[in-house]
Structure 1
């Protein structure tokens, strides 16, 4: 019919590159036809890209084996659809993931695609945004606050949730923590009330926050995150270092970007039972606050990200070129 087509990819292009390389991963004996690892190893698709551990392939970090199989089948189906697209538009920018764009030249980075930072009516949120945290941040010193948010889906068990809370308290730093009503299983309201009373003045808990506005606030020192791609771009655009605690799917690969490629964050490392003690949380927070080189790298990426979307920037020109091509 002569209809031109384009696809939009909202996650990192490293994840897309991994998905599009599935046939080669099977051919090389890294995974089987169902996406399961054939052996335990770490591999890299091309120099400069994040290393991938076969135990943390996105489709095998979905919570259980059946969910992983469903996601793998969906990925295979999506790959076929991607082949029909003349252009694949990506929510990224060239400097951030340049090896991926070299590997797949038809990927067109137009990001970071973020909404306005003006506080207004929330769009696309599952929870009511609590804007009172902004005035709380106004009262905190510059670069002093840990912002803690694990997205819409991460869930902690009671013990780990309480240990996280105690780790934040133990750090001694101010913190703003997004605690959804379904963030933890089996938390006693009286325990949470007691914790909030104890950290009053140090910490604030909200059900949901205006995240982009929070990350742009001068009081924010670091972002304790699940490493969802949108959250990463929001942190990068605002020059904020990360504490990384991925939950599932592509978030483990995203963490590798932050900690090993861009070197703008530190990883939280659960023990062999999946548990993280309060002492590790305090230790990693302390390391973030003392690491001036990491802060400088985060600010460098902020500058690059903001230049990309301004007139004349690489993402600006890519998007304009795409729009012009669709008019032809």
Structure 2
């Protein structure tokens, strides 16, 4: 969301970015420089309704509290800002607020177009008797197919069954059905962080969904503005990893990062650590500062560099990086594809299994890490897949070709470039119209 906001600022817009108080404090505290209040990208916040000691990992409780508390607070915040309002579809109730205030809205979907299509198809899946209102599978067939042009989905991998303890699946479906999906009819602008070449079949099925990705932070932000470099992070980026990468041979380093939510138990953490040792290759491993696992006593780690948080986009563009061991979050997927880095896929929850399937089975630019009968990725499995990926020349060729096609979308004249340009023009035209109305009102 903040990267998109920066793109709008680069195109002459002023943006007020509204966050919850809790996440706002985390974002601001991660900045290495003081935030500039005069910036055209202004960060503000409102309460999510929970207390300071409430567990925000309980996403169901958080969503319920937001719906009760935030609409009125948001009304007070935007009453004097009559521009197009941009928002995340996961908080679809915001468009109801915008409509009440006479403000045009736009939806931004930060995940894949495939997931958007699945979420928006839930009411039809219920009507067709494929699932019930709680998401339970009613069909005896082990797969569902949203359209003949799309691959079949294993019903066991449907995202609401894999919320990793963050939220009850049926609770999440009900939240989407009552507060998000209805919002689709309140705006003509549906924006998505994807590219036409990445998901052509889905984008044909949902022509209203406009690809504007990959959304990447501009290089000059990294080079000239330290604050924007860290904007939107929950932890401060450790830039020491960049000088370490400079010392490594080209195409030699395994980059290991599992995003801001994934957590392992001690046994799995041990296997991962010892597996990295077994590869006998240099590795850059991101272990968040909220990690509570202890390193196994056998872990040497002498070939690796461990940081709490990394500037991932810069890391993935570094010539020393050979492959990316990832949870397959959509942001990580887009950044990996943008930099032509092959994947080792270790999905954790939600939509990550779909992203893994897209990477491994459709684009063929990665390999899946398999779990044993106990649901654990062993150190030996990790070593085997690392060696396989390093030695697979066909994958290396495919990701180079995919990167070029992918990045053409955000070059001048590309589909994503033109879609974002059209959206910016709409914002500016709306601003002119609102200005004319105010003048006539005087």
- TM bucket (normalised to shorter chain) is over 0.9
CA RMSD of aligned residues (A): 1.9
Contact 1:91/1:109, CA 8 A, preserved across alignment: yes
Match of 1:262 in 2: 363
Cα shift at 1:40: 5.7
* Superimposed CA distance per residue, residues 230-286 of structure 1 (whole angstroms, 9 cap, x where no aligned partner): 111000000001111111111111111111111111111212321111111011111
* Superimposed CA distance per residue, residues 139-173 of structure 1 (whole angstroms, 9 cap, x where no aligned partner): 11111111000000100011110101111111111
Match of 1:10 in 2: 110
Match of 1:302 among 398, 403, 406: 403
Match of 1:276 in 2: 377
Decide which moves more: 298-307 or 206-215: 298-307
Q: Distance in 2 between matches of 1:171 and 1:43?
A: 38
Match of 1:238 in 2: 339
Decide which moves more: 217-226 or 22-31: 22-31
> Given the superposition, is the C-alpha separation of residues 144 and 50 from structure 1 closer, same or farther in structure 2, using an over 3 Å criterion?
farther
Match of 2:268 in 1: 160
Match of 2:301 among 199, 205, 211: 199
5+ residue gaps, structure 2, are: 1-98, 431-442
* Structure 2 SS opposite 1:137: helix
Match of 2:277 in 1: 169
Match of 1:32 in 2: 132
5+ residue gaps, structure 1, are: none
Q: Distance in 1 between matches of 2:209 and 2:203?
A: 6
Match of 1:187 among 275, 294, 303: 294
Q: Distance in 2 between matches of 1:45 and 1:260?
A: 18
Match of 1:225 in 2: 326
Cα shift at 1:5: 3.1
Contact 1:14/1:49, CA 8 A, preserved across alignment: no
Larger radius of gyration: 2
Q: Distance in 1 between matches of 2:375 and 2:327?
A: 15
* Superimposed CA distance per residue, residues 195-221 of structure 1 (whole angstroms, 9 cap, x where no aligned partner): 3xx232x11111111100000000101
Larger relative contact order (C-alpha < 8 A, sep ≥ 6)?
Answer: 1
Contact 1:241/1:264, CA 8 A, preserved across alignment: yes
> Given the superposition, is the C-alpha separation of residues 186 and 175 from structure 1 closer, same or farther in structure 2, using an over 3 Å criterion?
closer
Q: Distance in 2 between matches of 1:75 and 1:6?
A: 17
* Structure 2 SS opposite 1:8: strand
Q: Distance in 2 between matches of 1:106 and 1:4?
A: 16
Match of 1:247 among 323, 338, 348: 348
Question: What are the residue-to-residue correspondences of 1:91-130 with 2, within 5 Å?
Answer: 91-117=193-219, 118=222, 120-121=226-227, 122-130=230-238
Confirm or deny that 1:293 pairs with 2:394.
yes
Question: What are the residue-to-residue correspondences of 1:25-64 with 2, within 5 Å?
Answer: 25-38=125-138, 39=140, 41-47=142-148, 49-64=150-165
* Structure 2 SS opposite 1:148: strand
* Structure 2 SS opposite 1:283: helix
> Given the superposition, is the C-alpha separation of residues 286 and 307 from structure 1 closer, same or farther in structure 2, using an over 3 Å criterion?
same
